[in-house]
Structure 1
Amino acid sequence: MKREQERTQKYRRRGFYFLLLNLVVVFLFFFGIRSYYAQLSIEKAPLNQILIRCEDTYSSGSTLDVQVRLYNNSDKRREVTIIDFSFQILNAENQQIYSFKQTQPVRGVLDAFVSRLLFDLKREKEITNLPSGEYTIRVELTVDDKKVSAEKKFTSIERYQLIVENLNDFYFVGERAQPRVNLLNQTSRTQDLRIDALSVSLKQDDRTVWQSDVQVKPLWQNVRVGEAVELAEVEVPFDREGIYSIQFDCVVNGSMNSLILPLACVSSSERNLRKVKIYTDAPKLASLRNPLEFSVYLLNDTKDNIYLEVEEIVVSLLPSSLSVRKGPVRMWLTPYSKYEIFKFYPYSTAAITQPGTYKLLVKVATKNDRLDFETTMQISE
């Protein structure tokens, strides 16, 4: 009995010490966390915040797309007055490339936790020829007598870009592809293009199964910014089924330019549309004040490659006059992927100019099947 009592007291003491140790560890943990956060400065988010939307990398020769939005960090709807709006683009030497100023006051309403478009560069100026280098966008304005500012950096890249037309997603055994190869001047100035022979190769599993060197016009003079010249039309044979990549290589003014595109060779294609469905990211609710952009896709929810010969695609937006029709087209949908069949750009059409309910209608048809899709968008002022 005495030995049992001593053993029990021993276990109790050990348990008490273990509990005390755990309490000390917990105390130190919470004390350390509290001390750490006590060192941090707690700052409230600014009431007004400037958001500059711009790609980090810009290709010279294309149109520079920049949007400036004012974000309301308040949980309340507010009426604001904006004055002295200033927009600048500066190069690496801090030299001004472009500037825009609006000194007259502008009044508007900001909903809670919502941004509103203040400035769209494409509407004011088309900038397409920035030389290579780093640039800074600087925005300053006054909102209700409080100054607000923001900066964003981006990089401009000059290059020559190979563009391939008339190339299908897939071909049948025994067919020949006939792609047209163009070269686009995406630099900041008009140039003479000195071009070496164009090399085209067909690869499967990193193994070249066909290759050809095509002679092209060696000199193109005075090619303007954003202008494309046609280099050649190539015939590419397909003898057996498989997944391939086609590679185009061309030396322009001493620099190598390459383009690799995937394609397939099959023995047959799908004759119906039961494995795909139509999907869109068009919003249910939108405002005329904000640029609207959305796409329509064919969605492959299976684990299989789907090869479709689509005869016709029709997209309509009622009651507007927008109606797009295209086809026939061959589509290769990889497993669990979506394939864009239509894109609505903010300023490509004046389809949505009035508030109201708009109906988006989509039809996709093959020789043996047809898919229809319908959705609505409520557009407010």
Structure 2
Amino acid sequence: MKYLSKDPDEWRKKESEILKREQERTQKHRKRGFYFLILNLVVVFLFFFGIRNYYAQLSIEKSPTNQILIVCEDVHASGTPLDVQIRLYNNSDKKREVTVSEFTFQIFNNENQQFYNFKQSQPVKATFEPFTSRLLFDLKREREITQLPSGEYTIHVELNINGERTSAQKKFRSVERYQLIVENLNDFYFVGEQAQLKVSLINQTARTQDLRVDSFTVSLKHDDRTIWQNAVKTKPIWQGVKVGEIIDLVEKISVPFNEEGIYTLQIDCVVNGSTSSLVMPVACIKNAEKSLKKMKIYTDAPKIHSLRSPLQFSVYILNDSKDQIFIEVEEIMVSLIPSSLNFKKGPVRMWLTPYSKYEIFKFYPYSISAITQPGSYKLLVKVTTKNDRLDFESILQVNE
């Protein structure tokens, strides 16, 4: 008999070879799967070991029920009043009656010498709502400290809270310098305009002294190139300048803006051999924005506020676009009804970079006299230009 393909023996031989190859391939896949399984087990082990080791380093202690917070800047400019506040936080989720006694506030210099000391032995009782704070001490109300020599200082606070002794401390640094102040500088100018500036100097050192002005220079730079500079003559000697006192170096200096662009205005003044510099960006444009449609107003004012706590918030105008905006604002109005607060400002030239905010009003803690009674207060803001207007309204609930 003839076979058109292979005879049966050849087929059996061929099937045997195919089966052998399949078995070898299966063994390879099994080995590969086994190695992959081992690798996954190692990764999982390392992952859980790492997580366990990470959480083992974390403290399992709960936050203390009574927490003391020292509020002050890390760097203090000598010649200005030192601003320090001590606040007590109730980290409990329950309302508590607290008695504070034997309060001690101290400031030490870097040689551990006591610079200032305040003690209050008389007990003070207060009621704390859950997760709220109270102001315990405000340095400005007790003493104005301005003559603070350069160096590092430590604030140390101790007090008894319901009979339990608690303490806290914080370091800050005091810096002595001569600070320049520029008035009447706009964010931008139109081509062909001149800025008319007044420049003053503050003695932010720890002592009254004679100031010798060796040089005073105003420069306008573009792309690190000085395109205009003026060495201004000023009064050479200022005698008996007190701590924090301001002297007027130049009543009026003109700075020309002849071409469109983004510039840097730099002022350098050498006082008693020490150079003080001030660098500020300023733009020169052809046309300003006329519409307020790319902007909106918002505030960080709380929705609910307690009369027992200091209130501080700001109102901003936000550039809600990817474009640079140069706009002339005719008037800004902020009122808090029914309080006596009624703020007005204008005209103002604003330069807003993409998605940036511009502070147009700030409510400081010392303005709290405007809010004397609990109730519902309405914050109204209005920003107007020659061609447009932007309004904003928010409610502030004030509780006792």
Q: Specify the TM-score bucket, using the shorter chain as the normaliser.
A: over 0.9
Alpha-carbon separation, structure 2, partners of 1:75 and 1:13: 58
What corresponds to 1:153 in structure 2? 171
Instruction: Report the CA distance between 1:309 and its aligned residue.
Output: 1.4
Alpha-carbon separation, structure 1, partners of 2:180 and 2:27: 85
More off after superposition, 223-232 vs 7-16: 7-16
What corresponds to 2:366 in structure 1? 347
Unaligned runs of 5+ in 2: 1-15
More off after superposition, 268-277 vs 246-255: 268-277
Alpha-carbon separation, structure 1, partners of 2:319 and 2:146: 37
More off after superposition, 366-375 vs 16-25: 16-25
| The one of 254, 260, 270 aligned to 2:273 | 254
Question: 2:254 aligned with 1:235, yes or no?
Answer: yes
One-letter amino acid of the structure 1 residue matched with residue 217 of structure 2: S
TM-score by length of 1: 0.93
Alpha-carbon separation, structure 2, partners of 1:41 and 1:127: 39
Alpha-carbon separation, structure 2, partners of 1:322 and 1:35: 56
What corresponds to 2:208 in structure 1? 190
One-letter amino acid of the structure 1 residue matched with residue 187 of structure 2: D
What corresponds to 1:302 in structure 2? 321
Instruction: Give the 3 Å change call, closer, same or farther, for CA 19–161 of structure 1 in structure 2.
Output: same
Q: Give the 3-state SS of the residue equivalent to 2:141 in structure 1.
A: helix
Instruction: Report the CA distance between 1:68 and its aligned residue.
Output: 1.1
What corresponds to 2:284 in structure 1? 265
Aligned runs of 1:37-52 on 2, under 5 Å? Answer: 42-52=60-70
Any conservation in 1 of the 2:297–2:316 contact (CA below 8 Å)? yes
Alpha-carbon separation, structure 1, partners of 2:120 and 2:28: 83
Instruction: Report the CA distance between 1:9 and its aligned residue.
Output: 5.1
Instruction: Report the CA distance between 1:355 and its aligned residue.
Output: 1.3
Instruction: Give the 3 Å change call, closer, same or farther, for CA 37–301 of structure 1 in structure 2.
Output: closer
| The one of 234, 245, 249 aligned to 1:216 | 234
Question: 2:376 aligned with 1:362, yes or no?
Answer: no
Q: How many residues align?
A: 381
What corresponds to 1:109 in structure 2? 127
More off after superposition, 127-136 vs 67-76: 67-76
Instruction: Report the CA distance between 1:200 and its aligned residue.
Output: 0.6
Instruction: Give the 3 Å change call, closer, same or farther, for CA 78–176 of structure 1 in structure 2.
Output: same
Alpha-carbon separation, structure 1, partners of 2:36 and 2:288: 71
Unaligned runs of 5+ in 1: none
Query: CA offsets, 1:101-128, max 9 Å, x none?
Result: 2212222222333332221222222222
Q: Give the 3-state SS of the residue equivalent to 2:383 in structure 1.
A: strand
What corresponds to 1:138 in structure 2? 156
Alpha-carbon separation, structure 1, partners of 2:299 and 2:30: 68
Alpha-carbon separation, structure 2, partners of 1:201 and 1:301: 33
What corresponds to 2:353 in structure 1? 334
Alpha-carbon separation, structure 2, partners of 1:199 and 1:56: 31
Instruction: Give the 3 Å change call, closer, same or farther, for CA 25–376 of structure 1 in structure 2.
Output: closer
What corresponds to 1:293 in structure 2? 312
What corresponds to 1:69 in structure 2? 87
One-letter amino acid of the structure 1 residue matched with residue 118 of structure 2: F
Instruction: Give the 3 Å change call, closer, same or farther, for CA 235–24 of structure 1 in structure 2.
Output: closer
Alpha-carbon separation, structure 1, partners of 2:207 and 2:349: 37
User: Identity of paired residues, percent?
Assistant: 70
Which is greater in Rg?
2
Instruction: Report the CA distance between 1:287 and its aligned residue.
Output: 1.0
Question: 2:106 aligned with 1:84, yes or no?
Answer: no
Instruction: Report the CA distance between 1:339 and its aligned residue.
Output: 0.8
